[in-house]
Structure 1
Amino acid sequence: MSTAPAIAVAVVFVWLGMVLAISFIEAPLKFRAPGVTLKVGLGIGRLVFRALNTVEAVLAAVLVIAIVLDPPRVVTIVAVAVAIVMLVGQLAIRPALNRRSDTVLAAPDSQDPGGRSRAHFGYVALELVKVPALIVAGVTLLA
């Protein structure tokens, strides 16, 4: 395997691992930890997801460069494109999530902020599409 495909494989699996670890393990579990209030959890989540999305954007750029340098099969290109489009969608949803968390963080502790926002469900839905796309991209790059 030459350099560009090797980099592409590494980037895809690092990206996948980060998404799985943060979105599907850290994010839900932090709210179950003793002493973590909704406000503290949201504050942590904002920082973590801003960092995750920044790293994802860098990984996506590196992946695109690797693919341009040594184009893989069409199925891989489509899977990578799907993952990148999902990331762009998430970046577009982030301002709505930030507005919602601003509202919750500004509310008195006694006020019930209600359930999750539609933006949150949208973000999760995009994540649920991005993960299989990254799996397909990684597996087809190795094949």
Structure 2
Amino acid sequence: MNTTSAAVAGAVTFLWIGMVLAISFVEAPLKFRAPGVTIPVGLGIGRIVFRTLNRIEIALASVIVVTVAVGDPRTGIVVLVCVVAALLAVQLAVVRRRLNRRSDRVLAGEQLPRSRGHVYYVGFEIAKVIALTALGVSLATA
């Protein structure tokens, strides 16, 4: 892989990892510990934060796909890019969509039992961080 493409894709990959770690594993859980933050307020904030994060993730994924595509990549890098893109696509199209429908109901005042949807979302975040880390290391050694 050419060094410029590998460097750009690697930098974007590690930026993406940092954003996911900071928002999904630090900001999101801590938000509900703040005094006066109710479930509806936390959900409202979370929807805005995660909508923005997901849009940025789509942009970062696009940059990675383009820079890797023009960089004459090894097969392993292409596979990792596809894995990361697939994880993001399923997370947004399936898991996040279900969470949005549920949060709509909660914000409308419905009392619902605890959901496992967030567990699935976190599972995808963990898988995505692992795949992104593997991709970043592969790009750094390309």
Please give the TM-score of this superposition, normalised by the length of structure 2. Answer: 0.91
* Whole-angstrom CA distance in 1 between matches of 2:79 and 2:118: 26
Which stretches in structure 2 are left out of the alignment for 5+ residues?
Answer: none
Matched residue, 2:64: 63
Distance 2:72 2:119 in 1: 34
CA contact (8 A) 1:77 1:137 kept: no
Aligned to 2:97: 95
Mapped to 1, the partners of 2:58 and 2:98 lie a distance apart of 19
Question: Shift of residue 91 of structure 1?
Answer: 0.9
Per the alignment, residue 39 of structure 1 pairs with 40
Match for residue 79 of structure 1? 80
Distance in 2 between the 1:41 and 1:20 partners? 19
RMSD after superposition: 1.5
Structure 1: any 5+ residue segments left out of the alignment? none
Deviation track 1:56-113 (CA, whole Å, cap 9, x = no partner) reads: 00110110000111133322222222111110011112221111001111116xx4x3
Aligned-partner residue type, residue 114 of structure 1: P
Offset, 1:121:
2.1
What fraction of aligned residue pairs are identical, expressed as a percent? 55
> Which residue pairs with 1:6 in the alignment?
7
Q: Which amino acid aligns with 1:42?
A: L
Aligned counterparts of 2:98 and 2:13: Cα–Cα separation in 1:
28
Q: 2:121 aligns with which of 84, 100, 123?
A: 123
Q: Which fold has the larger relative contact order, with Cα–Cα distance below 8 Å and residues 6 or more apart in sequence? A: 2
d(CA) in 2 for partners of 1:122, 1:62: 26
**1:107 maps to what in 2?**
109
| Cα distance in structure 1, aligned partners of 2:119 and 2:43 | 15
Provide, for residues 120-141 of structure 1, a one-character-per-residue CA deviation record: whole Å limited to 9, x for no partner: 2222211111110000000111
Query: Structure 2: how far apart are the matches of 1:2 and 1:77?
Result: 16
